[in-house]
Structure 1
Amino acid sequence: MRFVIAVAALVPGVAIAGPLTTINPCPNATSISATPITVTMQHQTVSTCSTTSTCFRGSCIARYSMETFAYVNTIIPAAWDGTSAITTTVTSTGQTVTVSRFHSTITKFATPTSAVVKNGTTSRAAPQPVYLTIAKDFMVPYNKIGPLAIPGYGGSGLCQGCNVQQDGSRSQVVNVIECRSGLDRAKCMAYAETWISKLALAASSTTLVPLATRFVAPSADTYTFTFTLTSPSHIITAGVETITVAPSPFFHHVIRQCHRPREVVDFTIVVTKTISWTVPCSRQPPRTSSVVPIPTGPHAIPGVRQPGKGPDPSLINLGGDAEQP
């Protein structure tokens, strides 16, 4: 069996038909004559004026210096939630992009321990549902996005550390904000996580199927023989996964040319079957974490509420999926 990892390819920095835009490097500097820059491709190096002002006794002097950066204005798939992706418009190489989202709600039932006795009858309150919301946002700067970050997207092409290593592996560092909210309280933690894709070693299995068959050619001619065989099941291990390949039919065609009548033809058939398997990424847990405010605005996490008066609970199972009740 042979195992391969499918990697999507992206070719950044390719010029397209017609210019993308024209940039005036110093629109506010009337004393500087700068030639407009025609941008013809993403990640093209451009320069614009950066202004600094120095004031002394009510008199200000503006100074201009040139800043060089890579131009980008593109739409990429992002915010992958396991089923679909929401597009994101990127206008800066350092822009933070939400590449994945995880959201789950766990319901547990709390049974009151106190009982009420009335007229000799003991009654207890019915169990009440308690909800715990776990939400994670996985974010990466645009210039650090590699092929592992978003399914079907080959990356920005700017991440040098995302290239394939000598051992065939590649990795992707993502910044994670994990929030847990229950009742009227919530807490968020931030940490870095590494996704790793390793090249699985090639494995093969060859099955020999003995055939006791003989054919006597009635005349000189070309004959085609078809044999229906079955490749047996095979179990191999790729990384942390064990894959079982079920038995499957195998059709083998043999063509023999007989040069004289009554020629005897014997067959020895070797069945060889190659199977490809995409090995999923492994995840390296965080080493450190820090408490962060609950995200608001464009990076707000759905389902996570602002904290109330209750104490902040500690985060259990940091960096992993929540355990089911």
Structure 2
Amino acid sequence: MTIATKLLVLLSLTCSATAAAAAKKNHKPLAIIDVCPQKEGRWPNVTVTSQYQPVTYCVPTSTEMKNGHWKTHYPLKSTSVFVSTVIPCKYNGKTEQKCTVTTTDEEVLCRKTKTTVTTEVPVPAKTQKVSGSMITKSASTITKYKTIDYKYNAQYTHVGIMAIPGYQGCGICTECHWHNGVRTQGFNVTECHWRTRNAKTICTTYSEDGIWDLFR
């Protein structure tokens, strides 16, 4: 190898190293996460540099000591996969909002609907004495109203093409595929019933599968 060739190789290596250092210097992390907000400084922050990077968080755990006192430990136990994306959500049949998702196991409110149910309650005829005279009130009905709210949630990794109109899904769903000619979308549904502002709201949760033709 001639001296000129050696100089060219050395110059090439120097330029490559300089470019790599510059790229590393200019590369901004996606996020810096406090993995233990319950105990500041217990564990060093984690720098996230790529989508779907696993991040392990602390889980406060209390144990009883021999002297009867309790001591709280903060071991790193719960692992989530980081993601940083903004997706449409909270579709109400006409409009949608934007939601920021930061972990793949985060619940996304995909859809929400509200309906009002009316019930006619019969009131029988009634006769009563008023000022010495017998007065009869004719039979009638009373209209009662009940509002039902539905919220359709799904974990981000389970959000497919059917979950939100116009959104093509998270792209990493392993369950979002055709099966026997149909495509389904699983939801965790919260259904709440209330009659008046002062009445107690009754809510239930259940799982529900939406079929492609139902939401298309």
**1:114 equivalenced with 2:129 (yes/no):** no
Q: Aligned in 2, Cα 1:113/1:20: closer, same or farther, shift over 3 Å?
A: same
Residue in 2 that maps onto 1:194: 209
CA contact (8 A) 2:29 2:47 kept: no
Query: How many residue pairs are counted as aligned between the two chains?
Result: 178
Structure 2 unmatched runs, 5+:
1-26
In structure 2, C-alpha distance between the alignment counterparts of 1:73 and 1:130, rounded to whole Å: 46
Q: Give the RMSD, CA atoms, in angstroms.
A: 3.8
Residue in 1 that maps onto 2:104: 93
SS at match of 2:167: coil
What letter corresponds to residue 112 of structure 2 in structure 1? R
What letter corresponds to residue 150 of structure 1 in structure 2? I
Tell me the TM-score normalised to structure 2 length. 0.62
In structure 2, C-alpha distance between the alignment counterparts of 1:133 and 1:192, rounded to whole Å: 21
**1:175 equivalenced with 2:188 (yes/no):** yes
The equivalent position to 2:115 in structure 1, one of 96, 104, 107, is 104
In structure 2, C-alpha distance between the alignment counterparts of 1:123 and 1:155, rounded to whole Å: 60
What letter corresponds to residue 195 of structure 1 in structure 2? G
Residue in 2 that maps onto 1:39: 49
CA contact (8 A) 1:46 1:68 kept: yes
> How far off is 1:39 after superposition?
1.8
**1:77 equivalenced with 2:88 (yes/no):** yes
In structure 2, C-alpha distance between the alignment counterparts of 1:94 and 1:69, rounded to whole Å: 7
In structure 2, C-alpha distance between the alignment counterparts of 1:120 and 1:52, rounded to whole Å: 73
The equivalent position to 2:160 in structure 1, one of 129, 134, 146, is 146
> How far off is 1:22 after superposition?
3.8
Q: Aligned in 2, Cα 1:80/1:49: closer, same or farther, shift over 3 Å?
A: closer
> How far off is 1:28 after superposition?
3.0
CA contact (8 A) 1:177 1:188 kept: yes
Q: Which has the larger radius of gyration?
A: 1
What letter corresponds to residue 158 of structure 2 in structure 1? K
Residue in 1 that maps onto 2:4: none
SS at match of 1:161: coil
Tell me the TM-score normalised to structure 1 length. 0.44
> How far off is 1:71 after superposition?
0.7
Q: Aligned in 2, Cα 1:63/1:109: closer, same or farther, shift over 3 Å?
A: closer
What letter corresponds to residue 46 of structure 1 in structure 2? P
Structure 1 unmatched runs, 5+:
1-16, 198-279, 283-325
CA contact (8 A) 2:112 2:151 kept: yes
